């Protein structure tokens, strides 16, 4: 993932309720990265067609992953396990050429799958265009687009 991309992972609300008791506003990194979010619920058949309508298919570097878009721009990825069940769904928004239409499509897709969106900072946000735009405006990706040198220096100090 490029520094100018804003990562959103689709997390099923039902899985959050099972693992956390409710839909929290943020989760711990280890839970976010290690929990099998899609194990109790799978997207409906044909869900990939919805992604096809948002971004063009891309060549994947893995047999267990399907990709759409351009790896340096707006992207979508779906990861699968050995039996073909979904393990993750992720979108990355290119903040350099901010596309309100792509954000709208991602939010609509997440709502249809009954998901919330997990950010790189492990915050959970509703699939709402204003909430996503606000999160982007407070992100490292946006800071980098505005001031790459200061942003990179700030990351180095962390």
- What is the per-residue pLDDT across 72-129, written as a single tens digit (0 to 9) for each? 899 999 999 999 999 999 999 999 988 889 999 999 999 999 999 999 999 999 999 9
How do the domains of the chain map onto residue ranges?
5-157
DSSP state of 44: P
- Would you say the pTM of this structure is higher than 0.85? yes
Sheet containing strand 65-69, strands side by side: 57-58, 65-69, 75-80, 86-94, 5-12, 115-119, 124-125
The confidence score (pLDDT) of residue 157 equals: 59
In residues, how long is the chain? 158
Rounded Cα distance, 11 and 5, in Å:
19
């Amino acid at each position: 993932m490029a520094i100018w991309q804003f990562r959103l992972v689709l997390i099923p609300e039902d899985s959050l309720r099972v693992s956390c008791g409710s839909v929290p506003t943020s989760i711990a990194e280890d839970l976010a990265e290690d929990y099998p979010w899609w194990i109790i619920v799978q997207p409906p058949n044909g869900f990939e067609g919805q992604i096809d309508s948002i971004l063009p298919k891309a060549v994947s570097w893995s047999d267990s992953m399907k990709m759409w878009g351009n790896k340096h721009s707006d992207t979508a990825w779906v990861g699968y396990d050995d039996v073909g069940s979904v393990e993750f769904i992720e979108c990355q928004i290119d903040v350099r050429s901010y596309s309100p239409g792509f954000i709208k499509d991602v939010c609509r897709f997440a709502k249809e799958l009954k998901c919330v969106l997990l950010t790189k900072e492990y915050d959970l946000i509703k699939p709402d265009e204003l909430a996503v735009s606000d999160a982007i405006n407070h992100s490292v990706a946006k800071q980098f687009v505005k001031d790459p040198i200061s942003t990179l220096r700030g990351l180095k100090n962390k």
